[in-house]
Amino acid sequence: MIDPSIRLRRAIHINDHLLVKRILRSHPYLLHNPDHSICGNANSNLHLAASLGHLSICKILVELGHEEGTPALNDEHQTALMLAASAGHTEIVHFLCENDPQSILRQDIRGRDAVMEASLNGHDTVVQILLTWAPGGAPAALAQADLDGNTALHFASGNGNLLVLRTLLAAGADPGRKNVWSWTPGEYSATVQAEVYLKGLVNEVQKRKTAKREAEETQSAPPPLSKKDRMKGAFVKLVGRDVDVGD
């Protein structure tokens, strides 16, 4: 007879959520069921389901308490959210963000987080979801860097993911941020096209900031005096001076 832990992983692979429920009902101790095989990386049931894009199974596992207390981590300290973000499974990323927004900022043993994984693989919609749900907003997520000092913008630029570049810059990513090798995201570009595109976006963002600042300064400045008001002001000053002399 096949070991229940193996049957459970097989059920997840074929996306049979009813079978997953039945096995866990009979063997509740297999809720996490880390895969300790040679290439298993100690991925839990949720890691496996999230990486495969099986939303219904992810929901069952979370409902049963898979992530209670703290998110499950594999041997590389990756969360299920990181694997889903890397694979571009939009619905699962959204579900896991709703369930535990704090996990968005978690970093693995290389210092990478879910935003970096999505940026690396060019999943623009996933990046938008992660930045929306990130604790502290997009600035907190975009400020993070891996052990080499690479930000999400470095990963997007280094792999030529143009849509992600636009999203990250619009959200406030710093194009001048350098990694430990003193490379900016633009210098890290995989292609000349990506570098030129990034420079164009940076100029566009700068122009918008300048226009916004000028508009705010114009709104806060007092309105110019009409000719009548200027003449009235001059007359008042003249009278005041005459009165001072008379005293």
Between CA 149 and CA 143 the distance in angstroms is 10
* pLDDT tens digits along 24-54: 999 999 999 999 998 899 999 999 999 999 9
Residue-level pLDDT at 244: 44
Q: Which DSSP string corresponds to 86-116?
A: HHT-HHHHHHHHHH-GGGGG---TTS--HHH
Between CA 85 and CA 123 the distance in angstroms is 8
Tell me if 26 is assigned to some domain: yes
Tell me if 13 is assigned to some domain: yes
Residue-level pLDDT at 224: 62
Could you tell me which residues come within 8 angstroms of residue 244 by beta carbon, excluding any fewer than 6 positions away?
Answer: none
Q: Taking a C-beta distance cutoff of 8 angstroms, is the pair 25, 65 a contact? A: no
Residue-level pLDDT at 227: 58
Tell me if 202 is assigned to some domain: no
Tell me if 189 is assigned to some domain: no
Residue-level pLDDT at 189: 82
Between CA 86 and CA 14 the distance in angstroms is 20
Residue-level pLDDT at 172: 93
The domain tally of the chain equals 1
- Residue 116 is encoded by which pair of tokens? 């970096």
Q: Taking a C-beta distance cutoff of 8 angstroms, is the pair 24, 57 a contact? A: no
Mean pLDDT of successive 10-residue stretches along the chain, which has 247 residues: 94 98 97 94 98 98 96 98 98 98 97 98 98 96 97 94 93 94 86 79 76 71 60 49 44
Range of the domain at 3: 1-67
Residue-level pLDDT at 226: 62
Amino acid in the structure at residue 82? M
Q: Taking a C-beta distance cutoff of 8 angstroms, is the pair 57, 92 a contact? A: no
Tell me if 119 is assigned to some domain: no
Tell me if 156 is assigned to some domain: no
Tell me if 220 is assigned to some domain: no
- Residue 244 is encoded by which pair of tokens? 């001072």
Tell me if 18 is assigned to some domain: yes
